[in-house]
Structure 1
Amino acid sequence: MTTTTPPPAPPAAVDARRWPDVARVPRSRLRAAAARALARHAARRAGVRITEDPAAVRDPGTGTPVLCLRDPEAFHRRLGAGGLIGLGESYMAGEWDSPDPVALLTRLAEHYTDLVPRPLRPLRHITLPRRGRGERNTREAARRNIGHHYDLSNDLFALFLDRTMTYSAALFDGPGPRDPDTLAAAQERKIDRLLDAVGAGPGTTLLEIGTGWGSLALRAARRGARVTTVTLSAEQRDLAVRRLAEAGADGAADVLLLDYRDVDGEYDAVISVEMIEAVGEHYWSAYFSALNRLVRPGGRVGIQSITMDHRLMRASRHSYTWMHKYVFPGGLIPSVAAIERQVRDRTSLRVVDRHAFGADYADTLLVWRRSFDAAADRVAGLGFDPVFQRMWDFYLAYCEAGFRSGIIDVEQIVMERAG
């Protein structure tokens, strides 16, 4: 289920102090020439039309994905210098557009392995940016990385999330409309499925790692569970505390500004929704050891994780991407095989249930992107400039394309501790 939405208008000018690498176009003409040839090759392999006709941005045409270049020279220089980082920065600068960015990015993702000629593929590891040690999620870095994204503004997230303020994949009930109302019901269905799977009910002691804005903690408290939920985002904590108080559930839930590695105690159940992606490979062992340590023998752990193919994860795990630079620093999407290995090697847990629903995440992102684009004036009113709006639009379209293409998925994985 794709949709065409008008792309955000290009910025009239880029603030060089706020967006230095978007304001600055790389100079290398040699790399630009190579990128131009590679772009033509990739377009042929993926069945994408590249054009410089501005009318193509307004007219979807025949349904063939379209990449419309507003500034071909700048586009190819960025692509040659930074690969996918350059592709994203070029979109932020308004140098290219598409009548349907999701369809374009989906097609490119579907042909990901064919976009670069085979003899040149080994060079990707030499020419493209690599992660530095600063990407590792130490306690200090993890707090900084989480704050980079989640502490932007609670008001910003409220403009495109549904009334539950849930920022993870929803679970829809079959086909039907995809809008904020059906999304809210799908988010509650997702939460209920996890709470049911870990047996959360009256008297259950429940730990949540990754509070979000409190929707799961609130729903668990209403079941009669005694909830402890931890987050590294001060903005999220403040709103979660307020929402619980307004619902009269603050006595049943503690919201702590605390790293998962520093949580003490033992709980009947532990839940962590789309938190593992922010942990980073270097600390997966600490994360799974904490899950095992914090759940009582016989208790259950439920995690929801975005996942990717194991070979793709291994090939890309050291890469520094546009997503790391602008949206989620320090993160890595695990594979199911990597999760299973951590469970086997680091815990006394065993997997008792799995449910994949990547298509539902694509639809979740569709609703978020529509709502975000519709709220452009209010986003600007919060102080977010046109470059930020194009960055966020690209981020949502990029993620939706990943799920539409199947290159990434999302799963709920339920485990039980031996005992």
Structure 2
Amino acid sequence: MRFLPRLLRKFIRNGHLRLYDADGELREFGSGVDGPVVTVRLHDKALDWKLALNPELVAAEAYMDGTLTFEDGSDVHGLVELFSVNRSGLASAGSQKLLRRVWRGLKRWQQANPLGVAARHARHHYDLSEKFYRLFLDEGLNYSCAYFRDPQTDTLEQAQAAKLMHVAAKLRLEPGMRVAEIGSGWGSLAIQLARLGAEVTAINVSPEQIRVARRRVKQAGVADRVTFFERDYRELTGRFDRVVSVGMMEHVGVNHFDGYFGKVHDLLEPNGFAMIHAIGRMSPPGTTGPFIRKYIFPGGYVPALSEVFASLERVGLWACDAEILRLHYYWTIRHWRQRFAANREAARAIYDERFCRMWEFYLSAVELGFLNGSNMVFQLLLSRERDAVPVIRDYIVDDERSLLAPSKPARRRRSG
């Protein structure tokens, strides 16, 4: 083994890695402090150069294929955590600097999501079995960041219900308002908004999600106030009092930000406003990691706030409010990962062992990206007119409390 040890000696400073190579020789790296202790065994000699060249992708694939295994009680979450707490060291390694320059050069090509291609990319992930997603999501099938008032005591169901109320309070709905939802998931937000009296037009490019969502709105008794269309956001027309998009902008791609926000602009009534909820990064613009790009979210990208606000400037939308949720998604995904682990055998019965290992790696990687990396979630209120959103944001808290106590209806004002 010649190549991999050179890389590991450079970047593993925190924690400790015990590595058995394909010949059975033990090699050790790291200080043993400020991180996990992980024991790994490699079963393929070619992993020496493959891991050294592209560790983020190859480590995942080797685990998926069984050529990388764990011993002494270690597991994939510990390995991903070890990478996570040494992230800065890995990024500074010479071979990785070169690889990232290549990725940046290919960024716009990798995130090309024209009509048709965007739908195919989304279906890759969202057209999986409803039964599978029910193994780890909350009862409402909310597959986006929850809102934890107390991460120690809130259940996942409570935190997801709180997220829906938080979004609804920001929208400041009045009965009969027309709402466009871009990226409707399995329908929980549409159901919530319809229960508050809105007329919801919801679009999605996943036929499986739409099938489930239509069934759920019927069961909830609001099918007369919610209409689902299998449609790309670029194909939606009309004018609406509110536009809401939760967990969809990550699939737009940097090439298409102006088109996305331009569509939001065009859909809004002059005195209407939009609420955009998406994953972002606090660091400068980057690229999508190779594992996530290849196996989980092809065409996806987590934007830097500088990219988001630059696009808003170009399309002429007011950014009326911004809230940054820093650890809420970490707490959310921790629940998902733990539930997935508890239901792993059921997941394997639906798909197979390799699929389960892929999802274990994915859930650990994104969870730790919100704990040790630069990821966070932003919620923006956007409008065409300066005063479409109340100028004092206290209304959000006031309306949220009123929504949580229906016997005390919220005061409604169109502007502040």
Q: Secondary structure in 1 aligned to 2:116?
A: helix
Matched, 1:141 2:112: no
Matched, 1:69 2:40: yes
Equivalent residues of 1:267, 1:295 under 8 A apart: yes
Residue 353 and residue 253 in structure 1: after superposition, are their counterparts in 2 closer, same or farther (change >3 A)? same
**AA in 1 matched with 2:221:** G
Equivalent-residue separation in structure 2 for 1:291 and 1:74 (angstroms):
49
Equivalent-residue separation in structure 2 for 1:368 and 1:308 (angstroms):
21
Matched, 1:350 2:318: yes
1:89 pairs, out of 48, 53, 61, with 61
Residue 123 and residue 186 in structure 1: after superposition, are their counterparts in 2 closer, same or farther (change >3 A)? same
In structure 2, the partner of 1:25 is none
In structure 2, the partner of 1:186 is 159
Using structure 1 for the length normalisation, give the TM-score. 0.82
Equivalent residues of 1:51, 1:69 under 8 A apart: yes
Q: Secondary structure in 1 aligned to 2:338?
A: helix
1:326 pairs, out of 286, 295, 312, with 295
Q: Secondary structure in 1 aligned to 2:365?
A: helix
1:27-46 deviation digits (Å, cap 9, x = unpaired): xxxxx732331023222x23
Equivalent residues of 1:221, 1:227 under 8 A apart: yes
Residue 286 of structure 1, CA deviation: 0.6
Equivalent-residue separation in structure 2 for 1:346 and 1:155 (angstroms):
41
Equivalent-residue separation in structure 2 for 1:308 and 1:286 (angstroms):
21
In structure 2, the partner of 1:397 is 364
In structure 1, the partner of 2:335 is 367
Equivalent-residue separation in structure 2 for 1:258 and 1:346 (angstroms):
22
Residue 117 and residue 308 in structure 1: after superposition, are their counterparts in 2 closer, same or farther (change >3 A)? closer
Equivalent residues of 1:136, 1:280 under 8 A apart: yes
Equivalent-residue separation in structure 2 for 1:68 and 1:175 (angstroms):
31
Residue 50 and residue 134 in structure 1: after superposition, are their counterparts in 2 closer, same or farther (change >3 A)? same
Matched, 1:376 2:348: no
Q: Secondary structure in 1 aligned to 2:138?
A: coil
Equivalent residues of 1:183, 1:367 under 8 A apart: yes
**AA in 2 matched with 1:409:** M
In structure 2, the partner of 1:336 is 305
Residue 351 and residue 48 in structure 1: after superposition, are their counterparts in 2 closer, same or farther (change >3 A)? farther
Equivalent residues of 1:212, 1:236 under 8 A apart: yes
Matched, 1:282 2:251: no
Equivalent residues of 1:41, 1:116 under 8 A apart: no
Equivalent residues of 1:65, 1:103 under 8 A apart: yes
Equivalent residues of 1:131, 1:320 under 8 A apart: no
Residue 111 and residue 80 in structure 1: after superposition, are their counterparts in 2 closer, same or farther (change >3 A)? closer
Q: Describe how 1:33-44 pairs up with structure 2 within 5 A.
A: 33-43=2-12
Equivalent residues of 1:102, 1:400 under 8 A apart: no
In structure 2, the partner of 1:216 is 189
Equivalent-residue separation in structure 1 for 2:131 and 2:153 (angstroms):
26
1:50 pairs, out of 18, 29, 36, with 18
Residue 191 of structure 1, CA deviation: 1.5
1:388-407 deviation digits (Å, cap 9, x = unpaired): 00000110000000001142
Residue 126 and residue 276 in structure 1: after superposition, are their counterparts in 2 closer, same or farther (change >3 A)? closer
Using the TM superposition, name which of 92-101 and 385-394 deviates more.
92-101
Equivalent-residue separation in structure 1 for 2:353 and 2:367 (angstroms):
21
1:209-246 deviation digits (Å, cap 9, x = unpaired): 00100000000000010000000000000000000011
In structure 1, the partner of 2:390 is none
1:61-101 deviation digits (Å, cap 9, x = unpaired): 98841332221635434313433111211121231447364
Residue 247 of structure 1, CA deviation: 1.1
1:104-140 deviation digits (Å, cap 9, x = unpaired): 4345334323225565554224677955846410111
**AA in 2 matched with 1:273:** V
**Is there any run of 5+ residues in structure 2 with no aligned partner, and where?**
25-31, 387-416
Equivalent residues of 1:369, 1:396 under 8 A apart: yes
> Number of residues paired by the alignment?
372
Q: Secondary structure in 2 aligned to 1:46?
A: coil
Equivalent residues of 1:358, 1:406 under 8 A apart: no
**Is there any run of 5+ residues in structure 1 with no aligned partner, and where?**
1-31, 55-60
1:311-351 deviation digits (Å, cap 9, x = unpaired): 2x2xx33x66110100000011001111111111113x212
**AA in 2 matched with 1:90:** A
Equivalent residues of 1:67, 1:96 under 8 A apart: no
**AA in 2 matched with 1:87:** A
Equivalent residues of 1:199, 1:269 under 8 A apart: no
In structure 2, the partner of 1:17 is none
RMSD across aligned C-alpha pairs, in angstroms? 2.5
In structure 1, the partner of 2:389 is none
Equivalent-residue separation in structure 2 for 1:157 and 1:201 (angstroms):
33
**AA in 2 matched with 1:304:** H
Residue 120 and residue 90 in structure 1: after superposition, are their counterparts in 2 closer, same or farther (change >3 A)? closer
Residue 197 of structure 1, CA deviation: 0.9
Residue 204 of structure 1, CA deviation: 1.2
Q: Secondary structure in 1 aligned to 2:181?
A: strand
Q: Secondary structure in 1 aligned to 2:367?
A: helix
Residue 118 and residue 84 in structure 1: after superposition, are their counterparts in 2 closer, same or farther (change >3 A)? closer
Equivalent residues of 1:160, 1:368 under 8 A apart: yes
Equivalent-residue separation in structure 2 for 1:277 and 1:390 (angstroms):
24
Q: Describe how 1:225-264 pairs up with structure 2 within 5 A.
A: 225-264=198-237
